[in-house]
Amino acid sequence: MRLFKVKLLLEGRYIFMYEMKQEYKIGIEQIDEQHKKLFELADRAYVLLKDEFAIDKYDKIVEILDELKDYTIFHFKSEEEYMESIGYKRLFTQKIEHAKFIESLENVDYKHIDVDQDESLVKILNFLNDWLTEHILKTDKLIGQ
Ligand SMILES: [Fe+2]
């Protein structure tokens, strides 16, 4: 996680934020731009998790989740189309990993969010951490090679 978090001094205290560093770029502009959006979503989830003044985070969590779901479907389709266009050999592996990410998003129990809102945000962050560190760095990186 520390790989893509930077410390910022804000109002006298340090906060972390998610930032897409050079090492996450796979070298294909269209895909890199889309991955950037994931970091933005992770950052929003993180800021919300750390917001001690928000009493009810439910609506914002649902908003992030809905956006994440729509974006994920759009991004994977776009990434797969690109791989098809270049006759990419590892397309099948990619499709399997993508399907798993979509499946976990579809299985999110919205009723559970209200039981523990911060726990739900941690789950979203864990999901994104997996994606960012495992999938992008290990699987997507190969597309640009
Ligand atoms: Fe991918």
Q: 116 CA distance to ligand 1 centroid (A)?
A: 30
* Mean of all residue pLDDT scores within the chain: 87
The percentage of residues in the chain with a pLDDT greater than 90, rounded to a whole number, is: 54
* 14 CA to centre of ligand 1 in angstroms: 33
pLDDT in tens, 106-136: 998 888 898 899 999 998 988 888 888 889 9
Q: Count other Cβ atoms within 10 Å, centred on residue 32.
A: 16
Own/partner pairs for 83-90, CB < 8 Å, 24+ apart? 83/143, 88/143, 90/139, 90/142, 90/143
What is the β-pairing status of strands 13-18 and 5-10? Answer: antiparallel
Ligand 1 mean position to 80 CA, how many Å? 8
Question: What is the rounded CA–CA span in Å between residue 119 and residue 114?
Answer: 10
What is the whole-number distance in angstroms between the Cα of residue 52 and the centre of ligand 1?
34
Domains of the chain, with CATH numbers?
Answer: 2-144 (1.20.120.50)
Q: How far is CA 99 from CA 16, 17, 20, 121, in A?
A: 30, 28, 24, 22
Q: How far is the CA of 66 from the centre of ligand 1 (A)?
A: 20
What's the 141 CA to ligand 1 centre distance in angstroms? 9
Task: Inform me whether the pLDDT recorded for 26 exceeds 60.
Answer: yes
Give me ligand 1 centre to Cα 115, in Å. Answer: 32
Neighbours of ion ligand 1 (CB under 5 A): 79, 94, 140
Residue 19: CB atoms within 10 A of its CB come to: 15
Q: Cα(90) to centroid of ligand 1, in Å?
A: 10
Strands of the chain, DSSP E: 5-10, 13-18
pLDDT at 17 over 90: no
4 pLDDT tier (thresholds 50, 70, 90) = very low
pLDDT at 101 over 70: yes
Q: Is the pLDDT of residue 83 over 60?
A: yes
